[in-house]
Chains A and B, each alone.
Chain A
């Protein structure tokens, strides 16, 4: 087993991985950029290595610096988390060349499956159903228009090297096509360093259902059930849950088996996720394989009672899978809400800034994987994820109530968050009924603002804050201990 692991990531996922390492008695090394000097992941590690300026290319995406950090500290393995270098085959190769174990699949597998076009053909050949799609080997607008016409609008333009919803656009008509392709290419190049795009039929009224897989180096593979990820905004997931309300036991078994077949067909090792689209007839189509641990992995851990990071480390250390398919069973229901520093009333624009105060929800069945703390300055350079709020309960209905209660107890001051928005989504009838399709947000929550039902209460609270001494902001330096002096209580007056 490894003595020391370097976590090549930041924020909540780095903290989460380090927890498991500590539980396994493995020393941890954090890496950080200029703006993360006081980040939680740095404080959670045994050692920390400074990488450089905030830009990802100078820090978290810099392969040379990260390998150097591992060698300098004697880390035998690197866990890449998600995003950044997690699906970068060059990085996995660099680890291998430097005799550092990359906790994930082999570089060749990452490469094959990382190219969505190649991945689709591997799947087709193994009999896994795929969505009708095409790639066009040219930048010629006319060629794309023709391909789109053949598939039939609406089409989805996607980044071949991509994931996480970046570089994706739904195109409804031929007029929109050239601009959409341009923007998708540009986003893809910025996010993944590769602007290659391809096109798929866009399935309306579909659900995004993915299957967690775990494979060891001896060819054993299991699946750990599904995750329903249909609540998305601009193709980025915001709420995930398991089990999916759309899956029967039979469908679950079919999809699970297809995922395991996909894993074996590609020579997969370690943890991964096979994503499918489920149409309204209960037919599923392969979408892509994510060759990494996913953001929403906690909900799987909650219903199966497993620690996926532990399994990842054990597999990377050469151990065979310690569980068989028969050992895996799901019980209860789990939901995750992603809490980003974003303004839901202003098109979810990132809301960077200093977290003045944070109080996390707690209680039975509550897990908050948090990467920030009171006083932390959320940087602009990275994904603004603050935490993942996960709940687990006996039934879906109880899990929804638990999540609503948890959201009400989650106070974050200093940056805007979608807490109020998420609460309204969970309270909504379509969500409660389980009608979660990929157009959920567009259909029910296209424009959202807080409905201020308790204005009088808010006014009273405002006055309480004004009148009670000890109110806190940088500007109010006066900290009065007795009742406020008369001058303050008189209020303002005009001459």
Chain B
């Protein structure tokens, strides 16, 4: 079976040959590795990699799978699945004109009003999480068309707080 695994920006082609349950080989860049894997729990596996024992912890997530090996975190995705998904679904992500918090937070201060003309990098909203304040700034110059929240609101990560129409230059 061929896989294309994405780590960060890199895509690594891997050929996988299953011998029997829990026993398989991988070939990466011409290098073959023998693996005997045993599942300990949904989040833990013990691997014998070319005869050497390694403990691996994983979030088991089929999308962005996180693997913890000796304190190091690797996030791996299946590039083929990613590409299929991109083709199938419309990009429902955030557009660059939105103001979004990086993590679940509380809106502390709103520094602009609807209709305001703002400059690029002008501070617009201050949110707080875990006693740390973060200022979200305008990604470009434009006009604030809509503010979706009030001071004191709890917001989720990536939730759109404000819409800004980019200024025609």
Contact = CB atoms under 8 A, between A and B. Distances in A.
Interface in B34-74: 35, 37-39, 41-45, 47, 49, 54, 56-62, 65-74
B39 A473 contact: no
Interface string B1-41: 11101011010101010101110101011010101011101
Contacts of A455: 7, 10, 12, 74
Contact of B5 (A191, A351, A457, A459): A459
Interface stretch (A143-151, A198-206, A274-282, A379-387): A379-387
A413 B58 contact: yes
Nearest to B25: A460
Nearest to A465: B58
Nearest to B54: A457
B60 A471 contact: yes
Contacts of B62: 466, 473, 475-476
B86 interface: no
A350 B132 contact: yes
Interface string A460-479: 11111111111111011000
Contacts of B59: 356-357, 413-414, 473
B7 A452 contact: yes
Interface in B107-122: 108
Nearest to B61: A473
Contact of A450 (B38, B60, B72): B72
Interface stretch (A9-17, A93-101, A486-494): A486-494
A408 interface: yes
Contacts of B102: 346, 349
A166 interface: yes
7 contacts: A380-B104, A384-B130, A407-B71, A411-B43, A460-B49, A471-B58, A472-B42
7 tightest A-B CB contacts, nearest first:
A472-B42, A357-B43, A464-B37, A458-B74, A411-B57, A350-B130, A408-B70
Given A349-B102, A475-B62, A491-B1, 9 more contacts: A356-B43, A381-B130, A413-B59, A459-B12, A460-B33, A461-B67, A464-B56, A467-B16, A471-B58
